[in-house]
Structure 1
Amino acid sequence: MTVDRGVDVRDDSGFTLMELLVAMMLIGGVLLGLAAVQTSALVTTAQTRQRTLGTAVTNQVMEELRALPWNTLNKGLHASFASAAGGDPNVDGARLRPPVEPMIDEVLVTSTTQATDKAPLSGSGGTNVTATSNPEAPGIVFTSRSYVTRPAAGGESLALTVITTWRANQTADERHVLMRSTAYAPSGGCGDPNNQPYLGACQALFSASAGGTAPQTTITAAFGGETTDPEVDATTPILPGTDITVATMRGGQTGVGVTAQQSTAVESSALHAAGSLTAAGAPSASASTGGEAVENQASNDVGSEGAAPTDPSPVTSNGVAGSLAIDGGDLRMVITPGSGSQAKVSASTVTKCTAALPAGVPCAASDLASAVASTTTLSVGATNLQLVRVASSSITGWGARFAGVAGVAATGCSTVSGPGCVAAGASRSVGAVQLGSASWSGGAASSGLIQVTSYSDSTRVERGLSQRTAAPVTARSGSLRYWNGSAYTTVSITGSTSVTASTGTVTWTGGGYTVRATGQVAVTPVTDLASAPDPAGCTGEGCSISTETGTVSLSVHYRVEGPSGVSAFVTTTTLGAARAAAGFKAAPGA
């Protein structure tokens, strides 16, 4: 029998000495390469940080240099700047020739009268050197040198140069940052060269505005007038049993504006008629109607982002307003603003805004016309008493900036000289206004307590080099009639009219109620305010003018006595006004 025995053979062999040495050499080479890359990255990062700091220092010194007054920059460096700094490597004789930028070869501006307290250009001893240390770069000093030169092309500008140098250590190469800028102050520039660094060219400043407001009626509660009548305050309703404390019926209004300096911007707007009821104790009971607004803008500032277009199309709008009611049972008040008014607002720097204006003149115009009367009535049972009625009216406003092209007699600025002129105006026509119409006892005041007919007004102003003290052109006319207790008194309204008067008292009785009414009229003259602290040149605050066509205020006090007790309210109607303003301020140094 044969027995087969297995043999257990184990491999105890490993790396030879040679293999180990080769592996160590390869690993060592890789590690050395990584160390070199890391070292290079650290050096690059350090150099980048130094250059960033050097650039920041240079920028800071340049801003300090640019902030110096023009008359300081214009003197340049102190004549001893080089000796004060122990020499200057960037200067060759009287010229700036920095080795770091051979393309620069300009004449230095120097002066023996330059002050030595105008760092960084001329510090202690006249030095132009600024030394800066930064904790982020320990041991490194950034040396900045400032220079003022005349560019080779000549002219009124100055070239500003700042060169900053530094060394990472004693043996390292010198590194540098060079920054250039330009200072400019043309002859006749704005500002004071003794304390302002930037003196750019300036233009005269013009502004103008105009517009008009249509009649407006406001109704509030009032004291009845007899000692036994209840007192009222701001929370008392107009009619008993309601929440409304103020009712307003407002006509439309227009406005235009013109501003001009380096460029001209014009705008126009219109606001349609509106009505509102205000409830002091119950805001939810408040209501409003109408009041749509429309506007237009234009500008010849074609280089600015967001500027209005030069020639937008006119914008038109139709106003819509409904009636608002204060319902107190037997007593009911209804306010109906005029609806269907037509508005057109124009603004352009190319196209005529009105027929009288020439094309190409920046202008704005706003026209608003209503064809429907505005009314306020008080119903006492089945009888209607007309408290206020304002017939159709129209308002026009315009403004324009004239430069090189003159206006005409209707627009003003018919003479244009120097920087030009600005003008604006407004005109209104108000339909018949009637207050307090009812079948009053005894046939009194059969045409109402107060009437105004054929009312119109207008005003125009202008300002410019040739219009520094020009007077406004204003007109107002109309006829006022009021019941004096036995007959009507008529007053012709002109620009100088100033009247205050009371009407007689009238009475109406019906449906268990007695209504008693008394009116007040007040007319103020046209006003204007001119300001010309320097009429010879319109410098400083400039020359301005504003004007308004005066006020016509008509009010009627009503006392109502009936089953619900005694209440009283007052209707106040103002006819609005036309207004205009213009200003001219000459360019500094003009």
Structure 2
Amino acid sequence: MVRRRHTGRRLRSDESGFTLAELLVAMMIISGVLLGLMAVQTSALVTTAQTRQRAQGTAVANQVMEQMRALPWASLSKGMHASFASAAGGDPNVTSSQLHPVADPSITEPLVTSTDQTTDRAPLSGAGGSNKTVEADPSIPGFTYTSRAYVTRSAQTAANVLTLTVITSWRANQTTTQKHVILRSQAFAPTGGCGDASNQPYLGACQALLSGDAGATGPTVTVAAAGAGPTGPVTTPTTPIIPGTEATVATLSVGTAGVGLTSQQATAVEATATHGGLQTLTADAAVAAVATGGGRLTNSASNDAGSAGAAPANPADVTGVGSASPLTVSGTGMSLQLVPASGTSANLRATTTVSCATGVPAGQACAASDLTGGGASSVVLTTGGTPFTVASVAGGGSAKTLGARFTSAAGTTAVGCAALSGPGCLGTSVKRTVGLTSVGQGPWTGGAAPSGLASVTSYTDATLVERGLSQRTTAGVTTRTGTVSYWNGSGYSTLTIDRLTSTTLVTPAVTTTVGGVTVSASATVTVTPAMSIASHPDPVGCSGQGCSVTSDTGTLTLTVTYVVTSGGIPSAFTAAASVGSGRASAAFKAAPSA
């Protein structure tokens, strides 16, 4: 008998593995846990979406309520337009002239309506008198919030108290389930009417609104590449000013001055100034722009003694002297030296207690910004070893802006508001002088254009506007003087400038050859007239949108184009020398009557 030896090893019970039944049970348990987690996650997402929608709905309702509370009492007290329901395509919250919302049936209050309520008082009475506004949710396409605004009287409040209600609704998660947010507030106007301190928060709406600003922009010179004729390269916005450089645009500025005023319950005034400077731009974002000068100054005052952070009533004057460095842009066979205005002196005054300028009595809020003096600005081309003064602006000019709110004492014809009545008047003005400005100087062949192709001398401009109860339709006053001299091919012609001048003049081209390089130039003189735009939607009372006026002194620009041909290859650039301009605006909106 042969015995077979068993070589296999008997497995222990703890090494036998899972049975099929045990595996199925485990899979069922895991599936149940995963399904539970998915349900929890889905529920969390739904809850988050609903919470976000309710938060957005509440924000929309708050916005509509604030718009209602900002309406003048005279409009708010009229309630809704009598045709509000039909204009809104029906209203589910109204039953028999009573506010009885579906979302809160406990509210039952008589509506306040009027047939003479205007239809420009949204959200209470918008187009056609509708009290409904619809706002889209920017984060969910097609999702909207519908708000309806109501004015009612309640038996639980005094007779002179109005109840304001905003009901905002939406479809939850784009389903048929409608959700609501209801906001309630109260408004009242005691017997004191508009201007009574107890009328808050409607005191502001019960006072006249006046605002204005004035700005003086000094001379500027802007240099950019230009086409060089049919044989020259194509010019694009990325073409450099001169070949071999990175700069595509260069701008020299003499500086700006400005004032701004707002007045309703309190008056705030501000004066600003920017010194002259230089900036060059490049088409390559990796190459940094170059800037020098251009320092900015501000000064502010306010008679709002009750607000934290308000500007002081009479701050010290702010003064400063500008500083800007020249820059040379070197290219292939030529260079441009850019010299910005430097040394301009700024003086900024802002006060509500003392006089800030001649003609403005003490105690009348005013601001003044003066920018005076300084050196010359110029752009000089050097090629073939010879300099050409492309454009220049002499120093010593001035820019003065003034704005004042006259309440208890009148101004003068020079500063505006010489007559006062009711809530007073606001006036703004600009006065400027500009030094000799010229373009196109060079050693031109035959002694042509010895003083340049075009120049402006003795240039001044000014404008003044005013608005108030006695100045509802008063026209702005603008003046402008100066003399333009331009090359006519054999000598110089002159043009006297006034506020109505509007013309375009082109000079003949001049040329010269220096160091084997040919340079030619021609100039264009462009003058636009002064303009004044007045808005008087209600010149009798200046209610609603109010009455406003804006005026400017017009523009005068000398543009010269230089074409430089070296080795038979032309390149060109233009330099536009503007003498700047002045602009002033003023607006008056009468207080509504309680």
Confirm or deny a common fold (TM above 0.5).
Answer: yes
Q: Secondary structure at the match of 1:587?
A: coil
> For the structure 1 residues 116 and 493, does the alpha-carbon distance in structure 2 shift closer, same or farther, using more than 3 Å as the test?
closer
- State the partner residue of 1:34: none
Tell me which of 418, 423, 427 is aligned to 2:427.
Answer: 423
Residue 522 of structure 1: SS of its match in structure 2? strand
Give the one of 202, 213, 230 matched to 2:206: 202
2:189 is matched with: 184
* Residue 277 of structure 2, aligned match among 266, 274, 279: 274
Alignment of 1:212-361 (within 5 A): 212-225=216-229, 227-281=230-284, 283-361=286-364
Answering whether residue 368 of structure 2 is matched by residue 365 of structure 1, we say yes
**In the aligned structure 2, how far is the partner of 1:437 from the partner of 1:327?**
20
State the Cα distance separating 1:574 from its structure 2 match. Answer: 1.3
CA deviations 1:534-579 (Å, max 9, x no partner) are 1011011111000000010110111100138321111111111011
Distance 2:108 2:336 in 1: 85
1:50 aligned partner: none
Equivalent position SS for 1:251: strand
Among candidates 585, 588, 592, match of residue 584 of structure 1: 588
Q: How far does residue 283 in structure 1 lie from its aligned partner after superposition? A: 4.1
CA distance in structure 2 between the partners assigned to 1:434 and 1:529 by the alignment:
31
Look up the equivalent residue of 1:413 and give its one-letter code: C
- Does the 8 A contact of 1:240 with 1:564 survive in 2? no
Q: CA–CA distance in 2 between the matches of 1:219 and 1:159?
A: 63
| CA shift in 2, pair 1:558/1:205, >3 Å | same
Per-residue deviation at 1:181? 8.9
Q: Pick closer, same or farther for the CA change 1:186–1:553 going to 2, 3 Å.
A: farther
Cα distance in 1 for residues equivalent to 2:386 and 2:437: 21
**Aligned CA distance change for structure 1 residues 464 and 229 (closer, same or farther; 3 Å):** same
Q: From the superposition, tell whether residues 472 and 380 of structure 1 become closer, same or farther in structure 2 (CA, over 3 Å).
A: same
- The answer to whether the Cα contact below 8 Å between 1:210 and 1:581 also exists between their aligned partners in 2 is yes
1:571 maps to which residue? 575
Is 1:375 equivalent to 2:378 in the alignment?
Answer: yes
1:388 equivalent in structure 2: 391
1:500 to 504, 509, 514: 504
Distance 2:323 2:579 in 1: 21
Residues 425-440 of structure 1: pairs in structure 2 closer than 5 A: 425-440=429-444
**Aligned partners of 1:520, 1:417: CA distance in 2, in Å?**
49
Residue 479 (structure 1) aligned with residue 483 (structure 2): yes
CA distance 1:502–1:117, shift in 2 (3 Å): closer
How far does the alpha carbon of each residue in 1:362-419 deviate from its partner, in whole angstroms, 9 at most, with x for none? 0000000133111110011431110111012110001000012111121111110001
Could you give the per-residue CA deviations for residues 75-130 of structure 1, whole angstroms, max 9, x where no partner exists?
A: xxxxxxxxxxxxxxxxxxxxxxxxxxxxxxxxxxxxxxx9654799995599xxxx
Taking the aligned partners of 2:98 and 2:580, their CA distance within structure 1 comes to 65
Letter in 1 for 2:222: T
Contact kept? 2:530, 2:554, Cα under 8 Å: yes
Cα displacement string for residues 37-57 of structure 1 (whole angstroms, at most 9, x for unaligned residues): xxxxxxxxxxxxxxxxxxxxx
Question: Aligned AA for 2:345?
Answer: Q
Partner of 1:518: 522
Instruction: Tell me the SS of whatever aligns to 1:252.
Output: strand
Cα distance in 1 for residues equivalent to 2:386 and 2:570: 18
Whether the aligned pair in 1 keeps the contact of 2:163 and 2:186 (CA below 8 Å) is yes
1:539 is matched with 543
Counterparts of 2:322 and 2:158, CA distance in 1: 66
Aligned to 1:175: none
- 1:137-158 CA-to-partner distances (Å, cap 9, x unmatched) read xxxxxxxx972348xxxxx779
Q: Are the aligned partners of 2:226 and 2:574 in contact in 1 as well (CA < 8 Å)?
A: yes
Aligned length: 437
Match of 1:412 among 411, 416, 422: 416
Q: Name the residue aligned to 2:148.
A: none
* 8 Å contact from structure 1 (residues 185, 199) kept in 2: no
TM-score (norm 1): 0.70
CA distance in 1, matches of 2:292, 2:201: 53
**Cα distance change on mapping 1:125 and 1:540 into 2, 3 Å:** closer
The alignment partner of 1:504 has SS state of coil
1:397 aligns with 2:401: yes
C-alpha deviation, 1:281, in angstroms:
2.4
Q: How has the CA–CA distance of structure 1 residues 439 and 540 changed in structure 2, closer, same or farther, with 3 Å as cutoff?
A: same
Amino acid at match of 1:278: L
Contact map agreement 1:243 1:282 (CA 8 A) in 2 = no
1:558 matched to 2:558 = no
Output the CA distance in 2 between the equivalents of 1:197 and 1:318: 46
Shift of 1:71: 7.1
The structure-2 alpha-carbon separation of the partners of 1:413 and 1:197, relative to structure 1 and needing over 3 Å to count, comes to closer
What residue in structure 1 maps to residue 179 of structure 2?
none
| Conserved? CA contact 1:352–1:359, under 8 Å | yes
Task: Provide the identity percentage.
Answer: 44
Displacement after TM superposition at 1:286 (Å): 2.5
Structure 1 residues without counterparts, runs of 5 or longer: 1-62, 73-113, 127-144, 151-155, 161-179, 191-195
Distance 2:190 2:249 in 1: 60
Taking the aligned partners of 1:379 and 1:125, their CA distance within structure 2 comes to 84
Cα separation, partners in 2 of 1:451 and 1:283, compared to 1, 3 Å:
farther
Q: Deviations over 1:293-340 (max 9, x none)?
A: 000011101101111111101100110000111101430101111111
Q: How far 1:486 sits from its partner (Å)?
A: 1.6
Could you say what secondary structure the match of 2:287 adopts?
helix
Alignment equivalent of 2:454, drawn from 428, 450, 458: 450
Q: Which amino acid aligns with 2:391?
A: V
Q: Is 1:459 the counterpart of 2:463 in the alignment?
A: yes
Shifted more, 234-243 versus 394-403: the winner is 234-243
Q: 1:452, 1:420 → 2: CA distance?
A: 40
Report how far residue 356 of structure 1 moved.
Answer: 2.1
Alpha-carbon distance change, 507 to 146 in structure 1, aligned in 2, over 3 angstroms: same
In 1: Cα distance, 2:470 partner to 2:542 partner: 11
Does the Cα contact within 8 Å between 1:457 and 1:474 map onto a contact in 2? yes
Structure of larger gyration radius: 1
Residues in 2 aligned to 1:553 and 1:568: alpha-carbon distance in whole angstroms: 19
**Contact 1:257–1:268 (CA under 8 A) maintained in structure 2:** yes
1:14 is aligned to none
Quick one: structure 1 residues 121 and 207, their matched pair in 2 at CA, closer, same or farther if it must change by over 3 Å? farther
| Equivalent AA in structure 2 for residue 471 of structure 1 | A
CA contact (8 A) 1:318 1:343 kept: yes
Corresponding residue SS for 2:258: strand
State how far apart, in whole Å, the 2-side matches of 1:375 and 1:331 are. Answer: 16
